[in-house]
Amino acid sequence: MNRRLRNRHRWLTTSLAIVVPAALAAAILARPTMPVMEQLPDLGGLPAYDEDMTVLADEYVRIDTATMRFALLAAASAPERYAVEIRPQDSDVIRGADVLVYWWKMPARESETVPVNAHLLGRLAGTQTRRYALPAAARPGAGRLVFYSLGQRRLIEGEWPLPTERASR
Up-side HSE of residue 48: CA atoms within 13 Å toward CB?
9
Domains in the chain, CATH or no CATH each? 53-161 (2.60.40)
Q: Tens digit of pLDDT for each residue in 19-54?
A: 999 999 999 999 988 776 666 555 444 444 455 778
CB–CB of 161/139 below 8 Å? no
Q: Tens digit of pLDDT for each residue in 69-115?
A: 888 888 777 767 788 888 887 666 677 778 888 888 776 556 667 77
